[in-house]
Amino acid sequence: MKYRVLATFVLLALAPRADAETLKIFSDAALTESSLDDNTPGIVSFYVVHSGTVGATAARFSTKASPGFTGVWLSDASSFTTVGTSPIDISIGYGVCDFSPLLILTMSYQMFGTSSPCSDLHIAPANGQPCVIGGDMGCFFVEGCIQDLGSIHVNCPVATEPATWGRVKALYRN
């Protein structure tokens, strides 16, 4: 009987996750924008947020740039313990079982105003799969791969739709 209970617990802990882990990159401190216009030189901060878990203790990932992205990585900053750097392989330990969404990393880049249209900076696997430690059942889940990896789109034009003057006026009718 003890072995059945133990086997059931182990199977539940190793079962596929129902919720999707996400690592998103934002270009503003309010964590609302995932795009950037690179039209003037300057230092820009990008914010990495971990969400979609019921409890996690760490994350591991890297960041990669598309060929047209001309920004240069300067530094990483985190309120958590980190090992490594984001362009190569970074591990971030939360210290305790923490709940999402968590701002886990702020990256600084020197932008030159020269990035190609629709280039990007995105989260990528670090030596295998980008993973999170902890998860289902209050951080008893050992390791799970992150399903949704975010990116910052740089110099992508905003899609527009053709409109008539009548359609514009209709927007302001009561």
Domain regions of the chain by residue span: 2-170
pTM of the model: 0.75
Q: Of the given ranges (82-86, 129-133, 165-169), which has the lowest mean pLDDT? A: 129-133
Burial class (CB in 10 A: 0-12, 13-18, 19+), 7: exposed
d(CA 24, CA 34): 8
CA distances from 98 to 76, 104, 157, 158 (A): 21, 11, 37, 36
> What pLDDT, on the 0 to 100 scale, is given for residue 1?
47
Identify the sign of the CA torsion 154, 87, 81, 144. Answer: positive
CATH of 2-170, one of 3.90.180.10, 2.30.30.100, 3.30.590.20, 2.60.40.680: 2.60.40.680
> In terms of DSSP H, where are the helices of the chain?
2-14, 136-139, 165-170
Radius of gyration of the chain (CA): 20
- Residue 23 and residue 123 in contact, taking contact as beta carbons nearer than 8 Å: yes
pLDDT tens-digit map of 57-91: 888 889 999 999 999 999 999 999 999 999 999 99
- Residue 129 and residue 2 in contact, taking contact as beta carbons nearer than 8 Å: no
